[in-house]
Amino acid sequence: MSTLTIATAREVFDLLREDLVAIEQELGRDAASSVSTITEIAEYLREGGGKRLRPSLLLLSAHQLGYFGYSAIRLGAVVEMVHTATLVHDDIIDGANTRRGRPSANTTWGNEKCVLAGDWLYMQAFRVALEEKSLRILEQIVGLTQQMVEGELLQIQKLGRPVSEAEYYDLIFRKTACLFSVSMRMGSVLAGASESEETSLAAYGRAVGLAFQIVDDVLDLTATEEVLGKPVASDLREGKATLAVIHAFDHGTAVDRKTIQRVLDDRSFENVSRQQIQEILVRNGSVEYAMAAADRYAGQSRQALALLPDSEFKRALLWVPEFVVARDK
């Protein structure tokens, strides 16, 4: 039985430091366009930072299986561009004014320019990926993009009603966990992984991604705006029922359900306060229920690594689910 310890955040950062610097440089080059507005928007988005979690997963997947070539840097930039493009489009669809504590791009450049900048980022991601001359890689990116667009459309269709847990998990797989899973899978493809290795790493990514989105949705309900960097309870205000809300709707009283539905219908807290919703969630143990689900998926992700050999990269992969469930923003 493995006695491998989980890495610390500092150890993971030190392990990937040079690679992440190289990915930032690649992103800087990839953000350049002959149209100045695209370059300005792309650079603004890049400077907004973020956790770079998806590129890190791709790097760890490739390195765990012995691949250290430049293609991991290039594809790390690709998955970050895809992620950034989805955020731009999400902010436009949601009418968001802030992102990561800064004005969202659409508040500065407008929706029309940002839609096109997001489209350009998608196409730039495909262009860079083409340099790999790998049908397997392109297949992964095409499938990923389709899943994410379908997820966004499905979510729009379901706005204003408390979806089932099965529908919720399908949505968050398409919108979030799919990119985590594909990041791991592409790293394994670069390394020439066996089918079982690729399957294990993709399963790890899926489970981590599901845990990540569940926690993200909980933080939207429980964190402060100062910590979160954007308005709190924005999901519910936009008519989106996330896991804790679904649980409260399914297990609460008739009055609880009516109160939640009123917010979903109104798309505001004018008639029902955020405090009332929080009281319903607390009384029904709904936040604890959602966090328990995130913990289960974190456990599943660690189990997916069981057959892989011990290494410093596996230690780092074991750290990721710990970070995902413990973060506060």
What's 34's DSSP letter? Answer: S
pLDDT band at 181; cut points 50, 70, 90? very high
pLDDT of residue 1: 43
Could you tell me what percent of the chain has a pLDDT over 70?
A: 99
Q: What is the mean pLDDT of the chain?
A: 94
pLDDT of residue 139: 96
The CATH number of residue 183's host domain is 1.10.600.10
Domain count across the chain? 1
The answer to the question of residue 169 being in a domain is yes
The answer to the question of residue 4 being in a domain is no
pLDDT of residue 2: 58
The answer to the question of residue 1 being in a domain is no
- The residue ranges of DSSP E strands in the chain, in sequence order, are 98-99, 102-103
Could you tell me what percent of the chain has a pLDDT over 90?
A: 88
Q: Which of 100, 24, 8 is nearest to 59 (CA)?
A: 24
β-strand partners of 103: 98
Query: Cβ distance 291 to 215 under 8 Å?
Result: yes
Query: Cβ distance 140 to 189 under 8 Å?
Result: yes
Look at 320 and 233; give whichever has higher pLDDT: 320
The answer to the question of residue 166 being in a domain is yes
206-253 pLDDT, tens digit each: 999 999 999 999 999 998 877 777 778 899 999 999 999 999 999 999
β-strand partners of 102: 99
The answer to the question of residue 268 being in a domain is yes
Q: What are the tokens at 325?
A: 């469930």
Q: Which of 283, 270, 286, 268 is nearest to 231 (CA)?
A: 268
Q: What are the tokens at 203?
A: 């399963």
First to last CA, the chain: 35
The Cα angle at residue 12 between residues 9 and 16, in degrees rounded to 5: 140
Full residue range of the structural domain in which residue 45 is found = 9-320
The answer to the question of residue 329 being in a domain is no
Give the separation between CA 163 and CA 145, rounded to whole angstroms: 23
Q: Which residue has the tokens 């008739």?
A: 254
Q: Hey, what's the torsion of the CAs at 33, 39, 41, 47, to 10 degrees?
A: 120
Q: How many CA atoms lie within 13 A of 231 on its CB side?
A: 17
Q: Which of 32, 168, 132, 155 is nearest to 86 (CA)?
A: 155
Q: What is the DSSP string of 213-263?
A: HHHHHHHHHHS-HHHHSS-TTHHHHTT---HHHHHHHHHS-HHHHHHHHHH
Q: At what angle do helices 53-64 and 71-94 cross, to 10 degrees?
A: 150
9-28 pLDDT, tens digit each: 999 999 999 999 999 999 99
pLDDT of residue 3: 65
Give the separation between CA 142 and CA 198, rounded to whole angstroms: 18
Q: Which residue has the tokens 């230690």?
A: 315
Instruction: Look at the alpha carbons of 11, 13, 18, 20 in this order and tell me if their dihedral is positive or negative.
Output: positive
The answer to the question of residue 3 being in a domain is no
**Conformation bin of residue 66: beta by default, left when phi > 0, alpha when psi is -120 to 50:** left
Q: Stretch 34-49: mean pLDDT, rounded?
A: 91
Q: How many residues does the chain have?
A: 329
Q: What are the tokens at 294?
A: 């995130």
The answer to the question of residue 327 being in a domain is no
